[in-house]
Amino acid sequence: MAELSLKNVGKRFGSYEIIRNASLEVADGEFVVFVGPSGCGKSTLLRMIAGLEPITDGEISIGDTVVNNVEPADRGIAMVFQSYALYPHMTVEENLAFGLRMTGNPKADTERRVQRVADILQIKELMKRRPKQLSGGQRQRVAIGRAIVREPRVFLFDEPLSNLDAELRVQMRVEISRLHKELGTTMIYVTHDQTEAMTLANKIVVLRSGNIEQIGAPLDLYDNPANQFVAGFVGSPKMNFMSAEIVAADGENVTLTLVNQGNVQLTLPLKNPPPSIGDKVTLGVRPEHFAKAGEGIADLTIKVDVAEHLGNTSYIYANVAGGEQLIIEREESRNENIRDTLTIAIKSSHALLFDSDGNRLR
């Protein structure tokens, strides 16, 4: 077990920057998830920690040691690959024991560790099978087992669940979570699935185009996103973004008009720095944060395009004008139908404001 720290870490291929100035502290035993859209550099960052990609700037430390020039094998990490990367010609048992056998670990200890992993992951009955005789979920279990057997200081997971079907994904997610509780080892996990990130992590690192956009606890990111990208990326369904224009600002409050929502005007408290009149801004409201008509600072009347009734809740999809779709979550709306009109209210306490560059204003 060990803490991990990245200091201004960067990665360039020629003039192309893949990771820029990434700094991060991971405490011992923490479960950190790197999340971001495809191509944001999250897998590269993980591979840099593993030592499979050399870094061009900065410093990576595991425990007390700077590992920039330490071989991957000597970093005390174990990695679970997206494609499982099992040795196809070996049985499950041989796959688990291979690394230990090759490094001359005593036979009895290897057997004990393999048995323990088989117990933890409940794969005892698979030990004599080859990878091609296993299902996707079983292969993933073996891949995780191979990592556990090494008793690493840090576990790295590179999108381990993305090749599994939805049901199995949920099941394995729970299992990885249980494993983390049981082993207590530092884990770093890469995914593009924000639900996985929210459910697994103690700490989420949101990446976009090689930049760390925000680091924080899952609910912190949800409640207090640093910018419009994080606000849109975390949460499902996505946060609603409404184009707006500042029409008045007095240093205490701003008044804006929602240009694509029938020019509804609303006033929000906002002190520093006050935007200027005429500035284009974006109002962000999460689907579940709309109130009943009259209970907020402004009412919106929308036309229902699609209503999804899931039983416990419903999602109303409304595309009022200008292609600006709104999604509203309503627990008590089983009766709303397509073409109904609906009046909802925006609450000041849950309205976020972003400037035209996506920076958070309130």
Partner 1 sequence: MQLRNRAAYGFLAPYLLIFAAFWIWPIISSFMMSFQNTRINPWVFSPGANWGRLFTDPAFYNALKNTMIILVIQVPVMITLATVMAVLLNSPLLKARGLFRFAFFAPVVVGEVAYAAVFRLMFNLDFGIINKLLNSVGIASISWFSDASAAMALLIIAVTWRWAGYNTIIILAGLQSIPGDVYEAATLDRVSKLRQFIYITLPLLKPIILFCVVLSIIGSMQLFTEPMLITNRGGPGGGTETLGLFLYRQGFTSLNFGYASAIAYTMAALAILISLLNLWVGRDAK
Torsion of CA 36, 38, 40, 44, to 10 degrees: 110
72 binds partner 1 (CB under 8 A): yes
Of residues 102 and 310, the one with the C-beta less far from partner 1: 102
- For 134, what's the count of Cα atoms within 13 Å in the CB-facing half-sphere? 27
CB of 314 to partner 1, least distance (A): 43
Of residues 90 and 297, the one with the C-beta less far from partner 1: 90
State the residue for tokens 């409304």.
Answer: 318
DSSP 175-241: HHHHHHHHH--EEEEEES-HHHHHHH-SEEEEEETTEEEEEE-HHHHHHS-SBHHHHHHSSSSPPEE
Mention every residue, 6+ apart, whose C-beta is less than 8 A from residue 63: 2, 3, 76, 153
CB of 112 to partner 1, least distance (A): 18
Tell me the number of residues near partner 1 by CB under 8 A: 21
Q: Tell me if 207 sits within 8 A of 221, measured CB to CB.
A: no
What is the per-residue binding string for partner 1 in 31-50, x denoting contact by CB under 8 A? -------------------x
| Helical pair 136-149 and 166-183, crossing angle rounded to 10 deg | 20
Of residues 99 and 136, the one with the C-beta less far from partner 1: 99
CB of 256 to partner 1, least distance (A): 50
CA distance 159 to 188: 11
77 binds partner 1 (CB under 8 A): yes
Interface of this chain with partner 1, residues 78 to 97, rule: CB under 8 A: 78-79, 81, 83, 85-89
Interface of this chain with partner 1, residues 121 to 180, rule: CB under 8 A: 146, 150
CA distance 25 to 261: 43
CB of 176 to partner 1, least distance (A): 18
98 binds partner 1 (CB under 8 A): yes
Q: Candidates 34-42, 66-74, 195-203, 226-234: pick the segment binding partner 1 (CB under 8 A).
A: 66-74
102 binds partner 1 (CB under 8 A): yes
Residues that bind partner 1 (CB under 8 A): 50, 52, 72-74, 77-79, 81, 83, 85-89, 98-99, 102-103, 146, 150
